Structure 1
């Protein structure tokens, strides 16, 4: 601990000495579950094969360091998203399930709250429900991530410096914000917030606070969206709504990289990575035009034990993943009780099934969408030669990417708690 404290002190000194790099705006991006295998696989997935070289991606262009992810001792070495987000939001190690509270269940200040105290506007743009573990750990405090209703209530009830914690809330969550016992959306509307529930309404927003909910819980998979993306639109809108003379803090999460990892669904995993990559490419252009903005990107942990190649075969083929026209979960549901399930499977997968693949699908109950989903995922794993070791999280270190004002402070290897500590210092020394 003495070494860690000394290292943290050196970070603070470094930040304090670089006064010319104080960002006006801070955008923190979390690729939930996005371990190094995901960014590597995305490079191969995005490769156009038009040259002998494999082109670098936006992740490659902005890689600056690595971070350890372990939670507090009581939870061992493998973090969940709540403890991981608490480490990234507050610089505090806590138990798995903790939402911005320490091991004693006492609230800890987050970087988003500090931004609010500094007079900055604040927001979240995520593809999960807006009261899910990561956005909640930046915007609320609770002893358990599973207390979804209570966390949703706190977004309205708990104030920071006499104000709501968030000016902009974009993501999913109808189930938690429009309930029989309480309609929090109506309460926000009465407080002057605009409310939208369809992505087509993003362009119609007027300046001012907004709550936008686009799903009962999380938003639909990227593969099931018209343009196979939705996070870039959320982030562009959030930035537009938050922009002001004093600056802003925005928390962005590519939430469903993690969900694809838990499901061992390589097709959705790459689609979610593409959604996040497009978001970072937009932010890359934004930072070029607004160099007083800091963008820090990392993951809370890795999910699924994803391996790029499997079964002793030195090969990984992303081409079949590019042909998929809808999420495998929605494809499975459409196949149930269909008179032509194989035709639907081929249309959804984007390729003709061989006899072995047809035989694998025919072995499952065609009235059971969950069983069909499992088998469709197996087909994609076989076609691409993808491997998985877990349906849960793993304890590998994750990458840190950064661009804009102050990016150099995140270079090298550090603990995940040091990321927000640097941000705290940047905000306090403005």
Structure 2
């Protein structure tokens, strides 16, 4: 999958309660309110969590969540519907990095701040301004005897998951990042117990002839890890340590996701079930990676789909935490992306439900339309169910697709959706506003108020003292 950033920048419950035969997760993932209404919440007076689940909606700023609220709204009722996050809003984070030239963060610097408590330059992976490695919360929790996990829909070597388990002067060094992620601690146990996401090509590294020259997966398998490559395999897997790689690079956006790939919710549930077998506790980072990529693409369809997938994963994490009593769940963004405007022009309207008439994301459809041999007319008919598309709008897609211009094709599709949703976009990159922080469970009070994003890691470190 091509990373859309190139457009703008060339620019659980204790172990005894858990059962693999009877999972604690409900099958119903629909209404967000059902989590708080149907789950019996344990009476907890604990101040220090045994487990931490950090959920990062990459690029999921306040306006993105505002748009999602409109999208999920029950229009038969007065006022806007509540989201599953709402009751746990405790504060906000400042997202600025410590870059010598740029004053809006990238995901490397933002992730480093969240994972290590240190501000750094854009593009850094858990190194400080002097390129010196700085310890992550995942490394600290592993050293304390706890289990650790990383879940993402990007490549596992992408910036946000990478900052928790590697140190690199440049986020571009994904081959080396993969090597670090499978390293052993003091020659005994591997750093990360559960890794689920995309990126086969980085863990099975090939030479110029296409032959695998370094198989990092085999190194993990030799240490007792299972290896899964599909949703069905993940569901059946009973091991406590696993690497799941579900795509050569990034996984598909949720709306475009093939049945073979697990949803973010599925990976989150699997990770929690495996990690919670450790009586000492666990640290799990879950990233909804492609909210950000939809922002870079100005793809409203993709953005609503990706936030919804993150929302479902969040509900699963919260259901576990409410029954467990020992788990802190933190949900936040590392930054916002795309400058999404909830309403545009001179009209006081916003109708994101139009995205439900799209059968694929704009980005996903644009890739299909520009493939060699694509049946352009059929792809448009099958995937754009908006009734009033004009001949001119359709021609713009067809012409761009015939020219094999994926970006132009994507923006022609975006234009159709945005016009009817009355959505606006101000950027193709990250934006610098503060982001919401949601927290539930022991220690959640530490996250109250407007804080630097570095405090996220500092608070998590403090739970080990």
When the two structures are superposed, what TM-score results if normalisation uses the length of structure 2? 0.84
The CA distance in 1 between the partners of 2:307 and 2:82, in whole Å, is: 14
1:275-314 paired onto structure 2 within 5 Å:
275-314=309-348
Does the CA contact (< 8 Å) of 1:335 and 1:369 recur in 2? no
Offset from partner CA, 1:108-148 (integer Å, 9 cap, x none): 11111110111000010111111111111011111111000
Secondary structure in structure 1 of the residue aligned to 2:180: helix
Partner of 1:373: 410
**1:37 pairs with 2:63:** yes
In the alignment, structure 1 residue 425 sits paired with structure 2 residue 457: no
CA contact (8 A) 1:70 1:76 kept: no
Work out the CA distance in 1 between the residues paired with 2:86 and 2:369: 39
Question: 2:271 pairs with 230, 238, 243, which one?
Answer: 238
Q: 1:356 deviation in Å? A: 4.2
Residue equivalent to 1:105: 131
d(CA) in 2 for partners of 1:87 and 1:254?
18
What's the counterpart of residue 183 of structure 1?
215
C-alpha contact 2:54 2:285 (8 A) present in aligned 1: yes
Query: Which runs of 5 or more residues in structure 1 are unaligned?
Result: 1-17
Alignment equivalent of 1:269, drawn from 279, 297, 303: 303
- The structure-2 alpha-carbon separation of the partners of 1:326 and 1:229, relative to structure 1 and needing over 3 Å to count, comes to farther
Where do 1:273-422 residues align within 5 Å?
A: 273-336=307-370, 341-352=376-387, 353-368=389-404, 370=406, 371-422=408-459
Offset at residue 158 of structure 1 (A): 5.1
Q: 1:230 to 1:260 in 2, by over 3 A?
A: same
Residue 217 of structure 1 pairs with residue 243 of structure 2: no
Structure 1 stretches of 4+ with a deviation exceeding 4 A read 226-229, 336-340
Does 1:141 pair with 2:167? yes
* Shift in alpha-carbon separation, 1:226–1:46, aligned structure 2, 3 A: farther
1:210–1:333 Cα change, 3 Å: same
Whole-Å Cα distance in 1 between the matches of residues 401 and 187 of structure 2? 56
Q: SS of 1:70's equivalent?
A: coil
TM-score w.r.t. length of structure 1: 0.91
- Matched position secondary structure for 2:80: coil
Instruction: Answer yes or no: is 1:78 the counterpart of 2:99.
Output: no
Give how far 1:312 is off.
2.8
Given that 1:133 and 1:145 are in contact with CA atoms closer than 8 Å, whether structure 2 keeps it comes out as: yes
Kindly tell me: are residues 47 and 229 of structure 1, through their superposed partners in 2, closer, same or farther at Cα, counting changes over 3 Å? farther
Deviation track 1:193-252 (CA, whole Å, cap 9, x = no partner) reads 100111111111123210000111110111112579710000000001111211100011
Displacement of 1:342 in angstroms is: 4.0
Alignment correspondent of 2:194: 168
Q: How does 1:54-69 map to 2 (within 5 A)?
A: 54-69=80-95
In 2, are the aligned partners of 1:342 and 1:358 still within 8 Å (CA)? no
- Supply the distance in 2 between the matched residues of 1:35 and 1:416 (Cα, whole angstroms): 14
CA contact (8 A) 1:124 1:135 kept: yes
Cα distance in 2 between the residues matched to 1:19 and 1:77: 41
Mark the CA change 1:64 to 1:339 in structure 2 (over 3 Å): closer, same or farther. Answer: closer
Q: Do the aligned partners of residues 160 and 232 (structure 1) sit closer, same or farther apart at CA in structure 2, a change above 3 Å counting?
A: farther
- Between the aligned partners of 2:175 and 2:184, the Cα distance in structure 1 is 14
Residues 96 and 73 of structure 1, relative CA distance in 2, 3 Å threshold: closer
1:10 corresponds to which residue? Answer: none
**Inter-CA distance 65–362: structure 2 relative to 1 (3 Å threshold):** same
